[in-house]
Amino acid sequence: MTHTVFQPPPVEATAARLAQVELPDGFEITPFTTGLKNPRILAVDPSGHVYVSRREQGDVLLLRDEDGDGRADGEPRQVLHRPAVHGLEVHDGALYIATVKELLRAPIQPDGSLGEPELLVDDLPDGGQHPNRTLAFGPDGKLYVSIGSTCNACNETNPEHATLLRVEPDGSSRWWGRLLRRTGDDPCCDRLVSVRVTQSARTLREVPYRAKQQ
């Protein structure tokens, strides 16, 4: 049995292509910066520092708009190099960073640079065909990490594949939640949680989940 993964080439965001984007009345779209090649995830801290992950280049870039004109000032600055970096999230003065197998936390310095990254988790499930991890903090103060399936039609052997992981901000007390069809309560907040996920090219909205502690 063989399989093929199709990876289309990147397409430049030219002025002609931007003009095709349909916007509500009164809105306009302009480039904040250009030439980043393969930007994936954006995260902005309260000071306005903009962080961009580039999975193919394996780095995180810092962009700043000091004069408030809506465009990044100068060239982007590389603040982190980590192979296959993808997910970013700002929380309590730190940038949380996800690779395929790792979760890291780096303190944000006053100038937007990052201090020494701290490795919080180093055993996230293997990526397979869906290796990109995204991060978000919930209203419960926990960090949620998306873990995709290894392919589009697999019998997963690792119970953490095709789940959301929930961890403490220090990476401890890991839980996993599988998607359910029926309504359930969030075990951490005692409230219904709505999660948007993409599964087999379908977008499911308001999917409750049940969590299990390791």
- Whole-model pTM? 0.80
CATH value at residue 146: 2.120.10.30
Report DSSP state, residue 200.
T
Q: Mean pLDDT in each 10-residue stretch from start to end of the chain (214 residues)?
A: 70 86 91 90 96 96 94 95 96 97 97 97 86 90 88 76 88 71 33 38 35 42
The CA distance from 186 to 180, in Å, is 12
**CB of 135 closer than 8 Å to CB of 98:** yes
Q: Is 70 left (phi over 0), alpha (psi -120 to 50) or beta?
A: left
Q: Could you tell me if residue 44 is inside a domain?
A: yes
Structural domain of 125: 35-213
Residue 55 burial (10 A CB sphere; 0-12, 13-18, 19+): buried
Q: Give the number of domains in the chain.
A: 1
Residue 188 has a pLDDT of 41
Give residue 178's pLDDT.
61
Q: Is residue 118 part of a domain?
A: yes
Residue 83 maps to a domain = yes
Single-letter residue type at 83 = P
